[in-house]
Each structure stands twice: as C-alpha cells, then as structure tokens.
Amino acid sequence: MPDSVLVITRVGDITADLVIRELDQRGVPVHRFDLADLRAGSLRVTAELASTGEPWSGGLQDEHRDTDLSSVKAAWWRKPSGYGSRDGTEQAWMTAEAEFGLGGLLATLPDVVWVNHPHRNRPADHKPHQLRLAAAAGLVVPATLITNDPAAARAFVARQTGGTVYKPLRGGPRTPEGERLLLHTDLVTTAQIDEGVRTTTHLFQERVRCAYSVRVTFIGGRVFAVRIDTPDDSDVLDWRADHDRLTYEPIEMPADAAAGLAALNRELGLVYSASDWIVTPEGTWTFLENNPNGQWAWLEQHTGLPLTAALADVLTTRRTTT
C-alpha cells in the first residue's frame, strides 16, 4: 500500500489546506482529521497489539478515508482542537481516555516523520527551557528575569540602562468563545511594578535596540529568514502590533546564528519551528523566542519563499532508522 500522511488539525485551517493541496498534487494519500472528531463520533480508531512485539495494527476511518496504521510514514501535528471538554467528572474522564488512547496510539507509531512530535512540542514551547538552550547553543539572548517578587522585578528593571520589556510566557488567554487574545510586548518601568506581580510569574527582559526584526522559519534543517520592517519606527517593541503596514524581504541568516538555531532545534527535538529575532543597529542577531508551531503562510504570500513545498518535502521523506 502507498505511504500516507496524517494531518491533525482543526476545521478551517487554511494553512493546512496549502500543504494538503501540494501533497495531493504529488499523489500522496493524506488523512486529515481533528482530535475532536473522536468525541463527535466521526472518527473511528481500531488498533490491536499482538503478543509478538509487532507494532499496533489497525486503522483510522471516517467518511473520507480508511487509513491503515502501517501505511503512515509522516504526521503533521498542526493545530488540532482539544479532545473535548474537561467540565465535570464524566467529561474529564472521557477526554483523558481519548487523549491517552488516540494520542498515545499516534505517538507510538514506528518510523514516522513527525512535524513535530506532540511530546516534543509542549516542552519546547516553554520559554525558560528554550532560552537556556538557546544561550547554550551560542545564540545571543537578552538578559531575562522570571519572578513573582516585586522587589526583584524593580531591581532588574533599574539595572537595564536601555529599558526593560514585559512579555507573556505563553500566548494570550482564550475567550469563552475560543478566540485567542494577543498580548504584545510592552515597556515597563519600576513605577509600574506593584504588589499584583505576586499573583503569578512574569517574564522581564532587557530592551534590545532594533534596526529590524526577523522571522526565521526552520523546516527540516532548512532556514528561511524574512526581514520585517515597520514604516515609521524601526525600533519597535512588537511588530505584530502594526501588522497591516509591515514590509517583508527574504534575507540570508548568518552562518553562526543558523548553526545555533539548528543546534537548539536538535536539542528540542523539533523538525519545524518559527523563531523571532531582533537585529541591532550594530548587526547582532538576538534570539527572542522559538515557536514549535508558529504561523508561516503569510510569509510565503508576501515573499514567494517555497515554505509549502519545503513542508511537503519533509512529509514525503522517509525516516531513516539505525
């Protein structure tokens, strides 16, 4: 049977559509589903384990596809919705069973190229972890403090002669309707730090002077760097706050920064990442963060970089085993 690719994402993910269309054009069977499909009853999973030590046998079925698990050679863990509600004892139990059943089964499929393996994504998304590993890989990282102590925060801010920024440790919270709120990086002064800091941990960093920003999309060892400029003030805190007026230009990433990013992603176990950088007026590439599942389609639209094709290349490359 031909090799197949799983694409695990939510309904309406137009970025996934781009890659699926490319895979279709290459004649690659694709089975797209969402984790929530299991709870809805539209996805059926059957897997059996023999006592011989062979991998799980069985398949995934819905109204569009019937995929034998042994045919799966690549899986793209894109942006699936949750397995279900955790409200109430019964709902929480059913959701946990789905997570450990379907999720555990997918995670154990042998010789599969994952973009990225879900067990790698979550720890890789922790900023304290990635910042430490980035510094260890030789990348330039801003001075950083994580604290819920107002006195420690004020002391850190006072030491930063070029200013200090606050940024969230994760993406913004979701509304009851499921919409993700976007929290921008913002300047902070000692006068703004009050006793409210004690209620949770906060991340403070030295402000890095910015000539321009860069988004680097890392796909299977290849790096695609895009310079991002704002029209009025290059020394911006967060280019996402002025998205409609940005300009984009593909640029070459310095070899030392590219090597450091590759080392970081090897340590994190990532095949794909989207990282944000600041380039100072002196030309220093400063690492800010590395998103294991960051967006990229708009960059291809503005620059023509072959990001869709690069992802399809990875998903159609067999994993080598030793």
18 and 41 co-located in one domain: yes
User: The domain that contains 135 carries what CATH number?
Assistant: 3.30.470.20
pLDDT band at residue 255 under the 50/70/90 scheme: very high
**Is residue 123 within 8 Å of 129, Cβ to Cβ?**
yes
25 and 38 co-located in one domain: yes
Q: Report yes or no on 322 lying in a domain.
A: no
236 and 131 co-located in one domain: yes
Say which amino acid occupies 153.
A
Q: Report yes or no on 317 lying in a domain.
A: no
H or E stretch including 277? strand 272-279
**Is residue 268 within 8 Å of 130, Cβ to Cβ?**
yes
pLDDT band at residue 318 under the 50/70/90 scheme: confident
| Chain segment 208-232, per-residue pLDDT in tens | 999 999 999 999 999 999 999 987 6
**Is residue 197 within 8 Å of 146, Cβ to Cβ?**
no
50 and 104 co-located in one domain: yes
Which pLDDT value is given to residue 274? Answer: 98
Find the mean pLDDT for residues 164-191: 76
261 and 290 co-located in one domain: yes
Query: Based on the structure, what is the number of domains in the chain?
Result: 3
**Is residue 57 within 8 Å of 47, Cβ to Cβ?**
yes
Q: Report yes or no on 185 lying in a domain.
A: yes
Q: Report yes or no on 318 lying in a domain.
A: no
| Chain segment 134-175, per-residue pLDDT in tens | 999 999 999 999 999 999 999 999 999 999 999 998 876 655
Last residue of a domain, one of 158, 181, 207: 207
Cα 56 to Cα 42: distance, rounded to the nearest angstrom: 21
Pairing of strands 272-279, 212-219: antiparallel
201 and 291 co-located in one domain: no
257 and 111 co-located in one domain: no
Q: Report yes or no on 321 lying in a domain.
A: no
Residue that is written with structure tokens 């996402």 in the block: 240
Structural domain range at position 234: 117-139+209-312
23 and 62 co-located in one domain: yes
| Alpha helix ranges (H) inside the chain | 14-25, 36-40, 89-98, 104-107, 118-124, 127-136, 150-159, 255-268, 297-303, 307-315
Q: Report yes or no on 81 lying in a domain.
A: yes
Last residue of a domain, one of 180, 207, 234: 207
φ/ψ (deg, to 5) at 277:
-135, 155
Q: Report yes or no on 30 lying in a domain.
A: yes
User: The domain that contains 171 carries what CATH number?
Assistant: 3.30.1490
159 and 125 co-located in one domain: no
121 and 104 co-located in one domain: no
230 and 158 co-located in one domain: no
Comparing 46 with 186, the larger pLDDT belongs to 46
| Chain segment 37-56, per-residue pLDDT in tens | 988 889 999 999 988 888 99
226 and 274 co-located in one domain: yes
pLDDT band at residue 319 under the 50/70/90 scheme: low
Q: Is the pLDDT of residue 237 over 70?
A: no
- pTM for this prediction: 0.90
Q: Which of 246, 251, 271 is nearest to 261 (CA)?
A: 271
| Chain segment 63-91, per-residue pLDDT in tens | 989 999 999 999 999 999 877 666 778 88
